[in-house]
Amino acid sequence: MALPDRCPLCSAGRESQSVVTRHVYGDASVSRAFFHCAACDVRYQFPGLTPEEEARFYAAEFEGFMASRSGESGGWLKTEQHLVANEPTRMRRMKYLAPYLKQSVDILEVGCSSGFMLYPLAAAGHRCTGIEPSGVFSEFVRGRGIPVYQSVAELQRDVPDARFDLILHFFVLEHIADPGAFLMAQLAMLKPGGRIVFEIPNAADPLYSVYDIPAFERFYWSVAHPWYFSEPSLQFLLTRLGESSEVLRDQRYDLSNHMIWARDGRPGGMGRFAPELGADVEESYKQSLIRSGKCDTLVGIIKKDGGT
Ligand SMILES: [Zn+2]
């Protein structure tokens, strides 16, 4: 097994690096592992995908890969179903986006997939733009009247002076080889006082950090993710950008999903026992995980200096 010489985030030496797992979901080469850096608390894949492997991966495998991971209810392949399946996700995110939407603003979503976040925002009078590498999704979104570019580089080439009040990305940063450069490029496209708001998986996911379910351990550490951030490591990354930032906690998956993981060792249990458990139990369960910090999602908010 190849060993890293230093942490790719904070550069701490070999003595601070240890193996998290050699179970890398989707790694056909079986040559990779995930490591933990004791200095900054980040987890990272080593060795990472080469640019060629990464391009091949995203061109062909990504949608089928996600469909196979999302269980029977994800609806990834059928775009219309994707909108419906993601309505609870959209509503959950609107809780923390609402403060930045009090007037009409310019919004960019990087990795907008089917566009499910953007249609209601456009209908409410905001000016929306998407970045989406998948041809299936980008054509669908364009067909619904929202401009879409294949990459940030293409947007910057076609509209060099494009500036936004709000740049969003959800479960994208953990896929990016150089997350610092990715965020700096977005800061350059923000208006003064504008914000970047994003979600990533929390490395302290309770299925791993509380219940330690073996089947989950073999599923969670994905070849598609160079990084798994915790609250301290995400704060480390954001502080280096030199703007003000905060990290919030959230919990996406419910008690039913966790019970099915514990019982059957697989995903796909969302909402399964909701009629018997009731909404108050589900909500209280999520809030307990959020309070403990052992929750499945982190929300990063970066504010560019200036403005109001
Ligand atoms: Zn480190």
Separation of 222 CA from ligand 1 center, angstroms? 20
Separation of 98 CA from ligand 1 center, angstroms? 34
Q: pLDDT of 147-179, one tens digit each? A: 999 999 999 999 999 999 999 999 999 999 999
Separation of 88 CA from ligand 1 center, angstroms? 35
> Which ranges of the chain have pLDDT less than 70?
59-77, 307-308
Cβ-based burial of 135 (10 A; exposed 0-12, middle 13-18, buried ≥19): exposed
Q: What tokens were used for 130?
A: 């998407």
Q: Which of 131, 132, 136, 171 is nearest to 64 (CA)?
A: 136
Separation of 2 CA from ligand 1 center, angstroms? 17
Separation of 34 CA from ligand 1 center, angstroms? 13
Sheet with 164-170: strands ordered across: 148-149, 127-131, 106-110, 164-170, 190-201, 297-303, 244-250
Q: Where are the strands (E) in 48-180, listed by range?
A: 106-110, 127-131, 148-149, 164-170
What pLDDT sits at residue 1? 76
Separation of 9 CA from ligand 1 center, angstroms? 5
Q: Are strands 164-170 and 43-46 parallel, antiparallel or unpaired?
A: unpaired
Domains of the chain: 76-219+229-303 (3.40.50.150)
Separation of 294 CA from ligand 1 center, angstroms? 21
Separation of 299 CA from ligand 1 center, angstroms? 20
Separation of 201 CA from ligand 1 center, angstroms? 18
The answer for residues whose C-beta is within 8 angstroms of residue 307's C-beta and 6 or more apart is 191, 192, 193, 194
Separation of 221 CA from ligand 1 center, angstroms? 18
The answer for residues whose C-beta is within 8 angstroms of residue 60's C-beta and 6 or more apart is none
The answer for residues whose C-beta is within 8 angstroms of residue 18's C-beta and 6 or more apart is 35, 36, 38
Separation of 241 CA from ligand 1 center, angstroms? 16
Separation of 42 CA from ligand 1 center, angstroms? 6
Separation of 150 CA from ligand 1 center, angstroms? 32
Separation of 187 CA from ligand 1 center, angstroms? 23
Separation of 83 CA from ligand 1 center, angstroms? 38
What pLDDT sits at residue 51? 84
What pLDDT sits at residue 65? 52
Separation of 236 CA from ligand 1 center, angstroms? 9
What pLDDT sits at residue 249? 98
Separation of 242 CA from ligand 1 center, angstroms? 18
Instruction: Quote the CA–CA distance of 87 and 251 in Å, as a whole number.
Output: 16
What pLDDT sits at residue 72? 47
Q: What tokens were used for 165?
A: 């009040």
